Amino acid sequence: MSFAIRFVLIETSHPGNIGAAARALKNMALEQLVLVRPVHFPHPEASARASGAEDLLARTRVESDLAPALRDCGLVLASTSRERDQYFRVLDARAAAAHALAAAEQAPVAVLFGSERTGLTNSELESAHALVRIPANPLYPALNLAMAVQIMAYELLQARLERAARSAPAAAPKRAPLATAEQMEQLYAHLAVVLEQIDFRDRTPQGTHLMQRLRRLFQRAEPDANEVNILRGILTAVQQRRRHAGSAGTVVRET
């Protein structure tokens, strides 16, 4: 059975990790692997490490940028062991798997993994709704990329098995699909234009954090497409009212 959960590996440098990731996904009944700017792929070592998951490896998508890898996704989770700023919500792998499984019923879900050397950059985290942490020895928390993929894939399988084992609860109202990454980017661009038009600026000494804070606010809220449309409608109304106020204040002189 296929699940709408894709694993996205960004700038993977070791082809063996790609093959091992493909094998881990197939072991756990997952089918979608996307590579963003892999250093070496296709590669014989990737095929060798796939060991029985060559079919999944053959279907792996390769993208030159993160945006197309996230196309149509609602929930985006980012796996990282690094400390980040306080505005990110952080889930452990088990909680993240349960959350991803529920969200995948409405729209595709992406789980991001950064390069082996540097992990995910701050710009790559901009589309993430939450960070995923895998509990580990605090003295040595860094996991091999393929190991991290295996653990997250395992937790997703466990979440599915636990859901199947439970008696079917009373049907809960289904939530509308989350807004896609493209829709969220359109919202942020629209918001930035309106803030500039009404002269609402970051008054801190650095003057650079306002949009970052607003992005974190909306990413934590996980708005659906209808909610994003409402927010953009409000922004459009602000723009229209501002234009109307400007034209009403124009003085016409007769000659």
Report the CATH number that the domain containing residue 191 is assigned in CATH.
1.10.8.590
Which CA distances in Å does 219 have to 5, 12, 110, 149, 212?
19, 26, 14, 23, 10
Do residues 59 and 25 touch, judged by C-beta distance below 8 A? no
**Peptide bond connecting 42 to the previous residue in cis, omega within 30 degrees of 0:** yes
Residue 59 maps to a domain: yes
Q: Report the 3 state secondary structure along 82-134.
A: CCCCCCCCEEEHHHHHHHHHHHCCCCCEEEEECECCCECCCCCCCCCCEEEEC
Residues of the chain where predicted confidence (pLDDT) is lower than 70: 1-3, 82-86, 167-172, 207, 248-255
Residue 173 maps to a domain: no
Residues 198 and 126 reside in one and the same domain: no
3-state secondary structure at position 163: helix
Residues 142 and 204 reside in one and the same domain: no
Residue 170 maps to a domain: no
Residue 253 maps to a domain: no
Residues 92 and 217 reside in one and the same domain: no
3-state secondary structure at position 32: strand
Tell me: the pLDDT tens digits for 80-108? 876 655 678 999 999 999 999 999 999 99
Residue 28 maps to a domain: yes
Give me the pLDDT at residue 204, please.
75
Residues 37 and 154 reside in one and the same domain: yes
Residues 157 and 90 reside in one and the same domain: yes
Give me the pLDDT at residue 86, please.
62
Residues 107 and 59 reside in one and the same domain: yes
29: left (phi over 0), alpha (psi -120 to 50) or beta: left
Residues 14 and 136 reside in one and the same domain: yes
Give me the pLDDT at residue 253, please.
43
Q: How many domains does the chain have?
A: 2
Q: Report the 3 state secondary structure along 44-70.
A: HHHHHHHCCCHHHHHCCEEECCHHHHC
Residues 158 and 187 reside in one and the same domain: no
Residue 96 maps to a domain: yes
**145-165 and 15-27 helices cross at what angle (nearest 10)?**
10
Residues 30 and 115 reside in one and the same domain: yes
Residues 66 and 186 reside in one and the same domain: no
Name the domain boundary from 165, 192, 225. Answer: 165
Query: Considering the entire predicted model, what is its pTM?
Result: 0.86
Residues 52 and 153 reside in one and the same domain: yes
Do residues 184 and 191 touch, judged by C-beta distance below 8 A? no
Do residues 192 and 147 touch, judged by C-beta distance below 8 A? no
Residues 23 and 143 reside in one and the same domain: yes
Which residue range(s) make up the domain with 237?
181-248
Number of CB atoms found within 10 A of residue 134's CB: 18
